């Protein structure tokens, strides 16, 4: 384990809330830090002052990377379906890929790199990233059907994919095509990813000053997140993170310590889970 690593994540300003889930600043301190980038359903943009910004496409499994000492990362986590608006390419072309941003944005990427490098501090650098994202997204409209599908798949009781397609007046194959174009994966894969992130958010919140005074057990949070049972959680955790739940949570079952902040990203989903739990109590 490295020491001195800090990670502060916040919700985006309202003007970006339709495309950006969260923004953050991460610093490694005086030691290298093993960062385990986990699937979130969307893409991420990582900017290190003095280097070319990178886009990490939608992930289907963990992407570990070793951050050198003294590294500061300014980042933005895009919502599922926002990648096309930000980059203008099919999301499937960027699935599980890491691409220099100037290859996708051209001179816009070069200008962002220069602005990040010239910023006097990380807060100012983050403002530059938010401005660039706002300008890019303004040029392309959102796919409202995909946005509705993502919203539906983001809650534990989303139901069957077939009923989702019916509710959106699409065939199952048409919904899958739209999702692949905008999200990079089909609806079932996205549902699994969002369910896993919901589980991590629940465990992280449980370990945060005991905000929710409920039993902190793998099986309990797995059920609230929508898993059939603990083996189901274990299989999905291995698929998406490369680790079992005990390994991912560093030997604990009351908090997530994977290096990412999940609560800010999944606040609405947690509120939904609370309502479901209240009805079941």
> Taking all residues of the chain, what is their mean pLDDT, rounded to a whole number?
86
Residue 42: exposed, middle, or buried by beta-carbon count in 10 A (0-12, 13-18, 19+)?
Answer: buried
Q: How confident is the model at residue 223 (pLDDT cuts 50, 70, 90)?
A: confident
Mean pLDDT over 12-38 rounds to 91
Mean pLDDT over 108-122 rounds to 96
pLDDT in tens, 250-279: 655 445 555 556 666 666 666 666 665 554
* Residue 46 pLDDT: 98
Question: Contact, 129 vs 92, CB < 8 A?
Answer: no
Give backbone dihedrals phi and psi of 132, rounded to 5 degrees, phi first.
-65, -40
* Residue 168 pLDDT: 93
Q: How far apart are CA 100 and CA 135, in angstroms?
A: 19
Mean pLDDT over 198-218 rounds to 64
Read off the pTM: 0.87
pLDDT over threshold 50, residue 6 = yes
**Domains along the chain?**
6-138 (no CATH), 144-280 (1.10.10.60)
**Beta pairing, strands 98-100 & 72-78:** unpaired
* Residue 234 pLDDT: 93
Q: What percentage of the chain carries pLDDT values higher than 70?
A: 82
Evaluated on CA atoms 157, 162, 164, 166, the torsion sign reads negative
For the chain, how big is the Rg over CA atoms in Å? Answer: 18
pLDDT in tens, 48-62: 999 999 999 999 999
pLDDT over threshold 70, residue 2 = no
Q: Which residue has the tokens 């390994």?
A: 247
Question: Contact, 9 vs 126, CB < 8 A?
Answer: no
Evaluated on CA atoms 13, 207, 259, 197, the torsion sign reads negative
Q: What are the structure tokens assigned to 230, written together?
A: 């603990």
Question: Contact, 145 vs 168, CB < 8 A?
Answer: yes
Mean pLDDT over 57-70 rounds to 95
Q: Which of 33-47, 199-213, 267-281 has the highest mean pLDDT?
A: 33-47
Mean pLDDT over 3-25 rounds to 88
């Amino acid at each position: 384990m490295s020491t001195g690593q800090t990670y502060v994540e916040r919700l985006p300003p309202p003007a970006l809330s339709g495309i950006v889930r969260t923004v953050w600043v991460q610093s490694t301190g005086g030691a290298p830090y093993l960062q385990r980038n986990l699937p979130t359903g969307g893409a991420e943009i990582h900017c290190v002052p003095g280097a070319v910004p990178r886009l990490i496409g939608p992930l289907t499994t963990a992407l570990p990377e070793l951050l050198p000492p003294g590294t500061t990362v300014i980042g933005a986590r895009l919502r599922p379906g926002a990648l096309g608006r930000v980059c203008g390419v099919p999301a499937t072309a960027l699935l599980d890929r890491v691409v220099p941003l100037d290859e996708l944005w051209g001179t816009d990427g070069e200008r962002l790199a220069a602005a990040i490098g010239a910023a006097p501090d990380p807060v100012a650098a983050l403002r530059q990233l938010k401005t660039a994202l706002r300008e890019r997204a303004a040029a392309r409209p959102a796919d409202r059907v995909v946005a509705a599908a993502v919203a539906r798949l983001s809650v534990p009781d989303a139901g069957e994919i077939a009923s989702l397609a019916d509710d959106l007046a699409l065939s199952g194959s048409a919904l899958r095509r739209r999702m692949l174009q905008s999200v990079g994966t089909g609806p079932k894969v996205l549902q699994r990813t969002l369910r896993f992130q919901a589980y991590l958010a629940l465990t992280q919140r449980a370990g945060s000053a005991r905000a929710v005074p409920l039993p902190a057990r793998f099986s309990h949070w797995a059920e609230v997140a929508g898993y059939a049972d603990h083996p189901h959680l274990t299989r999905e955790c291995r698929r998406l993170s490369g680790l079992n739940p005990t390994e991912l949570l560093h030997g604990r079952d009351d908090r997530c310590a994977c290096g990412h902040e999940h609560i800010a990203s999944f606040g609405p989903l947690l509120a939904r889970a609370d309502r479901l739990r209240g009805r079941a109590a």
